């Protein structure tokens, strides 16, 4: 079996790595002080890419989370997308995109990047009748 190494966008991973230990420590402190609370991770655009990177890290230190990203660009290669899908299965990671938002398409499949699942795609006007769940 050929193993493909996980690769992520250098700028995104640099940004996450620059703050990750402080963020994880702060979240651990707050979660310990507030038993029974749940953690939801969110991000828009660049913040969506960072939420995508943060989420597996948080699961990796034993946290149970749900993540929502909005207008997230592709963050890593197919191996990264598959890892996110395994660590945060259906019902734990949601990616919302809008038909007129170019950011989710800015880093292309041709460049070796792929989105992770589960996408909710909105068209105009945004609403229940114009939102489609993509698998």
For 11-64, what is each residue's pLDDT tens digit?
999 999 999 999 999 999 999 999 889 999 999 999 999 999 999 999 999 999
- Write down the pLDDT at residue 2: 61
Contact 106, 39 (CB under 8 A): no
- Write down the pLDDT at residue 30: 95
- Write down the pLDDT at residue 101: 87
Sheet holding 131-134, edge to edge: 39-44, 65-70, 93-98, 119-122, 131-134
- Write down the pLDDT at residue 51: 98
* C-alpha closest to that of 54 among 91, 93, 24: 24
Q: How do the domains of the chain map onto residue ranges?
A: 10-134
Residue 60 Rama label (left phi>0; alpha psi -120 to 50; beta): alpha
* Domain with residues 10-134, CATH architecture: 3-Layer(aba) Sandwich (3.40)
- Does the pLDDT at position 1 exceed 70? no
Q: Is 87 helix (H, G, I), strand (E, B) or coil?
A: helix
pTM of the model: 0.89
When pLDDT is cut at 50, 70 and 90, the band that residue 6 belongs to is very high
β-pairing verdict for 93-98 and 39-44: unpaired
- Does the pLDDT at position 86 exceed 60? yes
């Amino acid at each position: 079996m050929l193993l493909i190494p996980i690769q992520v966008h250098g700028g995104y991973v640099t940004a996450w790595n620059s703050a990750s230990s402080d963020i994880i420590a702060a979240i651990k402190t707050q979660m310990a002080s507030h038993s029974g609370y749940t953690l939801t991770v969110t991000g828009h655009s660049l913040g969506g890419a960072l939420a995508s990177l943060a989420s597996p890290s948080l699961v990796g230190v034993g946290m149970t989370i749900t993540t929502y990203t909005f207008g997230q660009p592709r963050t890593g290669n197919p191996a990264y997308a598959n890892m996110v899908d395994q660590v945060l299965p259906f019902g734990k990671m949601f990616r919302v995109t809008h038909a007129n938002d170019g950011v989710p398409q800015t880093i292309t499949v041709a460049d070796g990047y792929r989105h992770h699942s589960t996408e909710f795609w909105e068209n105009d006007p945004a609403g229940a009748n114009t939102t489609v769940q993509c698998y």
